Structures are given as C-alpha cells and as structure tokens.
Structure 1
C-alpha cells in the first residue's frame, strides 16, 4: 500500500506567464487534503498538472512527483496509482460505450477478465451505492445522472486499484442530496480503503466536513498550509480570511428565517 503522493515545486506556464508557481503539497493515505482558493487561483490547473493532463499552450516548467519518496513520471500513475474525478463527470466517459465496457476495459489493464471481472464490477458498484448494477452497466453516460456518474468514476478508480484520488470540484454540479451522498461515500472510502484524496474545492462547508489538511491558493501560489481545525479557528492568510468570511455569510443567510 502506497502511503504518500508528493508534489514538489510544480510550476506551470503559458508562454511567459506563470500560472502556478512552485506548488508543494503531500497527499497521505487515509486522509483528505483540500486545495482551496477563489476561481482562477490555479487549483484545477494544478490538479491537471500533477497528472500531466494540461490544456494546449500550458506547459510544466518545473516540478517533481514523488510516490513514497521515489520520483515517478505522471504517465506511470494515471489510471493506476492515481485516479481523477472531474467536476463534469459526463466528459470523462466515451458517449458511445456502455458503462460495462468502461469497467471491463479498466480491469483488463490489470489482467482481470471473464467471470472474475464481472463479479468484481458488481461488488464494486454495490460498494459505491449503485445497487441496480445490470441496468447501470447497460446504460450510456447520457442516460445517468451526474451523481451516479460521480459514483461510477469512483468505482472505476477502485477497479483500477488506485491508492490516490484527485477530485476536482466533484460536488459543484450536484444537488444538495447528491452532494451529501457523494461526501458520505468519499469519507467511507478514505476510512475503509485508506484512500488518499486531494480535494479541489471552493466550498468551505465541504472542507469543514471532509478535510484533514488544507492548502490555500492565491494567484498560483500556496499561501497557507495547515490542518483544518487551525484554518477555521486561526487563519493566517488574507485568502483564507476571505473564503471563511464568504462561507460564514452564506451559512447565516441560509439559516435566516
């Protein structure tokens, strides 16, 4: 079981413009590390940079990826040790392939086929709370809800036997019920599977509920790193103060009769 995934000195550029500047963070097995910041701070781009999935025109100018302290190339981790859950899960699935084909293809990379593969797929779907397995597996992505597709992305990560999960704004496109179910699932897998999660979000309510460690990002740089309790009780950076003030204002507004 791998214990740590570390990113050291990640710098991303577009032409001569620095978009992410020397990002350092570590994701530990059995914990959720939240990466927070305002829109445009570089959170999602950092997530893509970790796995070398950068958009055209953006390149990595520096950075080292370490798995349990050993340097490793992103291509060796993608879909194996590290899985990605996207904000828009529909974009992660081939629209002309059934969910069964996606699952079988994932297991084939591990050499798991036949009856063993089908049994493992059914058990994994049940584990992520998708109990109508046959109907779901015969479906295509456009036939399922966003919440179901988020669960399927996690199921594929489990089928790939990934030890780390990068989740980019995974709850932002879900209704509040689907959000709660997704977070319940994530917390359970972190505890039971000892999954290490990097959770990219701007929702401080999600951070308060799920995170163990927090990195705060502003203008492409990490401006504060601490545990979640310290961040909420004694934030040091202006960015953290701003995010928490917005969170408290919103929650007070929601609770006002």
Structure 2
C-alpha cells in the first residue's frame, strides 16, 4: 500500500477529565517533515498517538477522519502498513524477552519475506541506519543496547515495513547531544533517500529549525498556528510559538 499524503481531520480525544484534543487537523506529505510543537501538556503527543488509535488506556478518540490520498482509511490499515511510530522511550517499544532479530523477522513476515531473503533485508536496513555491528545488534535484547541504537533500530524496522510515513514522538528527548545529532542526520538522509513523510513531535525549536518544512503549534489541545518553519521563526503569530522561541534563545544563546 502506498500513498503520497496522510491526513487526520477533526481529531478529538477525550478522557475522564473531558476533551483533551479539540478538532485537530494534521497533514503529512511524502518527502516532507512536519513538526508538531507545543509545551508539555499541549496535546501534541496525544494527537500523534491518536492518529493511529494507540492512545493510553482511559483515553478515546471520539472524532476524526483519517485519509490517505483523500480516501478514508482505518487506523488499523495504516499502522505498520502506511505509517510506523518512533517513541520517546524506545526501550518500551520492544518486547524485553525477544532479541532484535525476532522483531525484524516478525515485521518482514507480515510482508511475506522469510528465510534468507529476510536476513538479507534485515542486514540492508540495519546498514542503512548506521548499525554496523549487525550480527551483535540482531542477537541483542533491548536492555543490551543504548537509547540511540534502539532509536535507529526502530527506524530500521520502519524501513523493513516499507512504510511511506513515520510518526516520531519526541524522538531526541532522551538522547545525549551527539546521539541526537546522529539521529537527526539519519532522519533527514532517509527523508531525502526514501521520500519519507515525517510527523516530528517536539518542543525543541533547534530540532524544528534543522529538520522541518512545516510547523503546527498546539496549545491546550488546539492548533493555534500553522505555517512554514521559516515563517514561524521570522514572524511567529501565536503566543505559544513566541514562548517556545524565547525559551530556546535563553537556553542556547542563539536564535534558529
């Protein structure tokens, strides 16, 4: 299954406390990075998970139509087929009693790839994400690999699944500066080489400046601004965007 765009229209998420995400629209395009930004608690991570119906227990998507190239599609048809997910804490995404080879073989089996072809494909995808000690990595369990290596393994699994879109929820927040830079270099190389469409959930405006073409700003569960990254940095229209940019300037001493 292929598509050049993936969209959610009118996404609404509710919990016991009431409505947490109000009518959010998001659009991903192949070969483009869209950053979803906002302060903690703004609803950006929930929106990312809500697109794929992967919300935590107690939360429910009560509104929103998911479309691929303008045609309605169920989230179950998108997960692992059109879109892969990279989580903030990659260790939690892996079964702790199964090694990386097991995860890879399961992903490839769903695509009908088995045996020697599966091993060859795994080696190719691990090489593509810079995991050079491929045999050691494939024999390792999640607790035996660093956070940066697990992030790369998650992207390798996305390559194995051949999904055209990647949803990345705060993927650099648990990484040190060097691992963060390597991850972002890898992400942009894959966008260029494979035409990935990426939704990048972050509060780091330096990451936005480096990677994103489009930016959507959330506050209190609502979209309060959307424009090009350059336009946002040059002339932010919302108080939330201005606050994020000011915080970045204070922390780093520079403006993106």
Shorter chain as normaliser: what TM range?
over 0.9
1:241 is aligned to 2:205? no
4+ residue runs of structure 1 moved beyond 6 angstroms? none
Corresponding residue for residue 204 of structure 1: 205
User: Over the residues paired in the alignment, what is the CA RMSD in angstroms?
Assistant: 1.1
Distance in 2 between the 1:146 and 1:128 partners? 14
1:124 is aligned to 2:120? no
Corresponding residue for residue 116 of structure 2: 115
Question: What is the aligned length?
Answer: 254
Distance in 2 between the 1:54 and 1:126 partners? 32
Distance in 1 between the 2:228 and 2:40 partners? 22
Distance in 1 between the 2:115 and 2:57 partners? 39
Distance in 2 between the 1:176 and 1:210 partners? 16
Distance in 2 between the 1:53 and 1:166 partners? 12
Corresponding residue for residue 6 of structure 1: 7
1:33 is aligned to 2:28? no
Distance in 2 between the 1:85 and 1:40 partners? 19
Distance in 2 between the 1:89 and 1:207 partners? 21
> SS at the partner of 2:183?
helix
> SS at the partner of 1:94?
coil
CA shift digits 1:117-176 (9 cap, x unpaired): 100100110000001100110010100000000000000000001110000000000000
Distance in 2 between the 1:16 and 1:187 partners? 38
Question: C-alpha displacement at 1:16, in angstroms?
Answer: 5.8
Corresponding residue for residue 146 of structure 1: 147
Return 5+ residue gaps in structure 1 as ranges: none
Question: C-alpha displacement at 1:29, in angstroms?
Answer: 0.4
> SS at the partner of 1:156?
helix
CA shift digits 1:62-114 (9 cap, x unpaired): 10001111100001111111000000000000000010000000000000001
Distance in 2 between the 1:21 and 1:218 partners? 10
Return 5+ residue gaps in structure 2 as ranges: none
> SS at the partner of 2:131?
coil
Normalising by structure 2, we get a TM-score of: 0.98
CA shift digits 1:28-59 (9 cap, x unpaired): 10000000000000011111100001111111
Distance in 2 between the 1:121 and 1:36 partners? 33
Corresponding residue for residue 102 of structure 1: 103
> SS at the partner of 1:35?
strand
